[in-house]
Amino acid sequence: MPPAHPFDFGAIDDDEGDTLHEECGVFGVIGVTDAANFVALGLHALQHRGQEAGGIVTHAPDVGFQSVRRFGYVRDNFTDPETMAMLPGQLGIGHVRYSTAGSKGQTAIRDVQPFFGEFAMGGAAIAHNGNITNANALRRELIERGSIFQSSSDSECIIHLMARSLQKTIPDRMEDALRRVEGAFSIVAMTRTKLIGVRDPLGVRPLVLGRIGDGWALSSETCALDIIGAEFIREIEPGEMIVITDKGIESTYPFRPKRPRFCIFEHVYFSRPDSILGGRSVYETREAIGRELAKEAPVEADLVCPVPDSGTPAAIGFSLESGIPYAMGIIRNQYMGRTFIEPTEQIRNMGVRLKLNVNRALIRGKRVILVDDSVVRGTTSRKIKEMILDAGAREVHFRIASPPTAWPCFYGVDTPQREKLLAATMSEEEMRDHLQVDSLRFISLDGLYRAVGESRGRDASAPQYCDACFSGEYPVEPADMVEQGFRPKTAAE
């Protein structure tokens, strides 16, 4: 299994589970010659959403559906001419995935999407970003009726529900299936002639539409439209299903409408800074978060340094707002190497050193503000602080571009169990003591809402975003997890 290579704006210490991971990215295209090449490029641009494995399915009239699914990077698996020649056709979809905490290291290739099913009226392939919160119950019911599951993925339920639907067309069967499903889903699917995109009624995960020549593309993020030179048209709406053929696009809203609750963490961390969300680049939003943070939690210091790379835009914002010079006090080694053998002599913070090095000559004697995107378990923050102090910094002030992460996500993000989250067991004060820094401040939930464009902050009675990881308020009951013993927030908390 290949080591996960974090994206530029990705994680620094994911081997210890100290980062949240988006689980998936989806991409599809129709109406272009050699669709697989476009899908490969799109997935490459979405690699930060899932680094463990990827797959592409295409369809061409003479050879039917073709599928290649592999562990590892898109750049390694979908670039050689031999492989790409196995994926002919003008229509294709793809998926990149990150394994969830539970199955890490056990993922079989059969868990890698897109999934394919042969139905009486023809085949269909689907790629799913999100998480089905009632998958266990659905699976039990389907096995009882004679379905044979091939994977441990919750997404496979959708294919089996479709196989058992009494509808006549694949889009109709997909509607049928998705009405039984609870949770978050942004889906890209295909039949022999159709490219299909669907988003759950809350619209938790992103999905966008682009135009490429006479064809169309669907993607988790706009950055994947850029790489293929497609024009960004619009976001698929929460609860919308669109079916694209060579005749054009049909849009329907098959689900009971709900108030949308887009994942606010996509702004903070998951999406690429060059993607556009809500009409603004994610980079700008993050810079705004940094500015907001500088207003909420100012401190006197000599330098503002990002924890690279994910803290960079917020650190720039903090510097611009505060007037304190921005500097790269921590340098990131892009070559990775988490599995080096630790020399017998004691090397402190070995794991972090492989990826980060403090700019010692720069830091010495300075009061340093470190800006990071979030604190999950706190292990990395602690090591970074030590490295900074070892290098001779006079003061270390942490500023975090998100509120305390106190609750796990059940909608398609890989989070540790609740008791492993630092903020689940400590107050901000206690965390500061635990990390032994001169000060530690998180942006407020209201501040975050303001930075993402809600000028009046969070509407507590009807929050505009899904912020369950901060607030503990889950817009969809996580049924499977409750069955497994998860205790949701009580009124008292």
Under rule CB under 8 A, which residues in 136-195 are in contact with its own copies?
143-150, 159-160, 163-164
CB of residue 210 to its own copies, shortest distance in Å:
13
Nearer to its own copies, 231 or 250 (CB): 231
DSSP assignment letter at 71? E
Q: In the range 356-385, which residues lie near its own copies by CB under 8 A?
A: 357-362
CA distance 228 to 247: 22
Q: In the range 293-352, which residues lie near its own copies by CB under 8 A?
A: 312-313, 316, 320, 325-328, 331-337, 339-348
Residues with Cβ within 8 Å of residue 299, at least 6 apart in sequence:
369, 397, 399, 439
- Residue 246, annotated as binding a ligand: no
Residues with Cβ within 8 Å of residue 390, at least 6 apart in sequence:
348, 358
CB of residue 86 to its own copies, shortest distance in Å:
10
Q: Using CB under 8 A, which of the segments 35-43, 188-196, 199-207, 438-446 binds its own copies?
A: 35-43
Judged by CB under 8 A, which of 263, 276, 451, 452 binds its own copies? 276
- Residue 305, annotated as binding a ligand: no
69 by Cβ neighbours in 10 Å (0-12 / 13-18 / 19+) ranks as: buried
CB of residue 470 to its own copies, shortest distance in Å:
26
| Residue in 237, 277, 263 with CA at minimum distance from that of residue 412 | 263
Give the three-class secondary structure for 278: coil
Nearer to its own copies, 142 or 435 (CB): 142
- Marked catalytic residue, from 24, 157, 223, 305: 24
CB of residue 261 to its own copies, shortest distance in Å:
23
- What are the φ and ψ backbone dihedral angles of 381, each rounded to 5 degrees? -55, -40
Q: Using CB under 8 A, which of the segments 195-203, 272-280, 291-299, 434-442 binds its own copies?
A: 272-280
CB of residue 77 to its own copies, shortest distance in Å:
11
Distances (CA, A) of 371 to 294, 368, 400, 459: 10, 10, 6, 27
- Residue 157, annotated as binding a ligand: no
| Residue in 131, 127, 126, 144 with CA at minimum distance from that of residue 103 | 131
- Residue 8, annotated as binding a ligand: no
Q: In the range 242-271, which residues lie near its own copies by CB under 8 A?
A: none
In contact, 442 and 451? CB cutoff 8 Å = no
| Residue in 272, 207, 205 with CA at minimum distance from that of residue 233 | 207
Q: In the range 211-230, which residues lie near its own copies by CB under 8 A?
A: 212-213, 223, 226-229
- Assess 8 for contact with its own copies (CB under 8 A): yes
In contact, 239 and 199? CB cutoff 8 Å = yes
CA distance 184 to 430: 34
24 is catalytic: yes
In contact, 345 and 322? CB cutoff 8 Å = no
Q: In the range 78-117, which residues lie near its own copies by CB under 8 A?
A: 78-81, 84, 109-110, 117
Tokens of 134: 């009632």
Considering CB under 8 A, how many residues would be counted as binding its own copies?
A: 94
**Cα angle 186, 469, 234; round to 5:** 30
Q: In the range 40-79, which residues lie near its own copies by CB under 8 A?
A: 40-41, 44-45, 47-48, 73-75, 78-79
Cis peptide before 114 (omega within 30 of 0): yes
Nearer to its own copies, 3 or 252 (CB): 3
Q: In the range 442-481, which residues lie near its own copies by CB under 8 A?
A: none
Which residues are catalytic, by number?
Answer: 24
Annotated binding-site residues read: 263, 310, 372-373, 409, 466, 469
Annotated binding-site residues for [4Fe-4S] cluster read: 263, 409, 466, 469
Annotated binding-site residues for Mg(2+) read: 310, 372-373
